[in-house]
A and B are shown apart, each in its own frame.
Chain A
Amino acid sequence: MTTITRLTDRLMIDKSKVTSFLSWMGQASKALLLPVIGITVFLVIWSIAANSINTSLGKFPGPVAVAGQFGALYQEHNAERVKAEAFYERQDKRNAARLEVDPSYVVKIRAYTGKETFVDQIFTSLVTVMSGFLLAAVIAIPMGIWMGLSPTLNAALNPIVQVFKPVSPLAWLPLVTMVVSALYVSPDPMVSKSFINSLLTVTLCSLWPMMINTSLGVANIDSDLVNVSRVLRLSPLTHVQKIVLPASIPLIFTGMRLSLGVAWMVLIAAEMLAQNPGLGKFVWDEFQNGSSESLARIMAAVVVIGLIGFLLDRGVLALQRWFSWDKTK
């Protein structure tokens, strides 16, 4: 402390600021220290374990090998980008040349159909999970509110929900695939069938936790608040807006977090099973590939899948904080 005093006196800095900065540093290092220790221990155990596991594709990848693959995967992505740009450049030149010869020529632009890189697959999976989840939310939350408000509807739908909830969405996958290929016939589809299949599978598993939690939240609103609404003769719409929604926000978001967690897990499995584009397909392709680097690349995908799952959950949590009236929760 005396050195600080001398230092602050000499530099003419506010001493309380220095001490508060130091205590902040202390707290931050405590909050950082334990996770850092945990991760380090994990990495050490992983590399020791990896070293002693021999598979038919060589040694199980340790942290260093996986880290190396991250770099390689990113470079492959960049290389693919360069190729794609070159392709479009050539196409533009060709079209321009033909237009010069024949001004009535209708320009055809073809999309580049190169190999989908790791980064592309991440992007595909993210778009799929978000679309499927949003579609589910748009259906499940209003339904849940309606079920929570009407005991009759709840009694009618509850058995259906309870039976469908425990079904693994992967069991739906063949049905979804057949129905989509029967119904989704368009000569020039906006989005691919495989995207629709994955999306609907995600939707089917996201529906139930959101619906159940929303209806639970709505049905358990403090009866005094409902009485206030009755005395005021609020219209059903105002009742939902002013009373039902704010009161059930915590449970609605609990349902959303549960749903999104399940959705992300299911999507990867569905992509593996159905060979639909996405991270699941990446994992499966690498597995089939069976090169000496495959396991490290799959491990890299596992880490990314975990990180994205974590970030998705945090995202919903942040959204809840933003929406909720009670900022302490």
Chain B
Amino acid sequence: MSTFLDISNIDMDFPTPNGPFKALKEVNLKINKGEFVSLIGHSGCGKSTVLNIVAGLYQATKGGVILNSTEVAEPGPERAVVFQNHSLLPWLTAYQNVELAVKQVFQKKMNKAEMKQWIEHNLKLVHMDHAMHKRPSEISGGMKQRVGIARALAMQPDVLLMDEPFGALDALTRAHMQDSLMEIQNELNNTVIMITHDVDEAVLLSDKIVMMTNGPAATVGEILEVNLPRPRARLALAEDKEYNRLRAEVLKFLYEKQRKVENINISKSSISDNETADVG
């Protein structure tokens, strides 16, 4: 497979009152078309910064991103972003939020009826067709996140960028959303970069887990290929040997190789396989 998204030699310096702060140093990552990649690492290491550079929302100090043989210079709908806190426009209904994106991206390619159909199709995909005409304030956190995903999917992006899409949700809702996302991914086979704090989520969803070292000057530490067959079932995998090996690898990276000394307390340093593994 050829490289679809190429992040090469990225440095990121943030200006601060005490001179520049080097958040990222020489980040390199190649992603193939249709691949689902998770970014994992301790809080503040620079995951969001990487994602924002790919989105074009930040400008890298050095290096660059090439998507589909064109260099990324500014944000655009071909790199749709799902933000951590849904960021739906509170004055628009779920339908209107998706509509804003669809109108913008497909204004020349679709007529009114086709747009309507496409909006409804995407809301159906995330199981939100029953609450299409509700405002964000009238639906739950998980539902808002679903609409955010529908909005991103409706842009038909080349890459879907998700910054901790389920970070703000409770464990049950999160599991539900992960299942939904796998189901959608089976159908659409998008190229996805997802930031997560959740080791299980990373192993369950990804084709590749990119583990980042701690900042400052963070970079890609290790890349773990996940070759578990799809479709994946959460319960069956709990007993799976390969699944547990992969999970242990990630935990080892995070809690041995990249131990966050200042943040560690007793319960975290003695983390075992049956404890919930949440980073950060």
Contacts and interface: CB of A to CB of B under 8 A. Distances in A.
Interface of A: 222, 224-225, 227-228, 230-234, 238, 242-243, 246-247, 325-326
8 closest Cβ pairs, A-B complex: A325-B91, A224-B87, A246-B91, A230-B75, A231-B75, A232-B104, A224-B83, A231-B81
B89 A243 contact: yes
Contacts of B91: 246-247, 325-326
Contact of B104 (A234, A325, A326): A234
A225 B76 contact: no
23 contacts: A222-B87, A225-B89, A227-B57, A227-B75, A227-B81, A227-B83, A230-B74, A230-B75, A231-B55, A231-B76, A231-B77, A231-B79, A232-B77, A232-B101, A232-B105, A232-B155, A233-B76, A234-B104, A246-B89, A247-B91, A325-B90, A325-B135, A326-B90
Most chain A CB atoms below 10 A, which of B77, B90, B91, B105: B91
B80 interface: yes
Q: How large is the interface on B (under 10, 10 to 19, 20 to 34, 35 or more residues)?
A: 20 to 34
Given A232-B77, A233-B74, A247-B91, 18 more contacts: A222-B87, A224-B87, A225-B89, A227-B75, A228-B89, A230-B56, A230-B75, A231-B76, A232-B100, A232-B105, A232-B155, A233-B77, A234-B104, A246-B91, A325-B91, A325-B135, A326-B90, A326-B137
B85 A224 contact: yes
A230 B89 contact: no
A120 B219 CA distance: 77
Interface string B147-164: 000000001000000000
Most chain B CB atoms below 10 A, which of A228, A238, A242, A326: A228
A225 B105 CA distance: 17
Contacts of B90: 325-326
B201 to A, nearest CB: 22
Interface in B63-82: 74-77, 79-81
B89 A242 contact: yes
A243 B90 CA distance: 10
B82 to A, nearest CB: 10
A326 B90 CA distance: 9
A233 B85 contact: no
A231 B159 CA distance: 12
Contacts of B135: 325
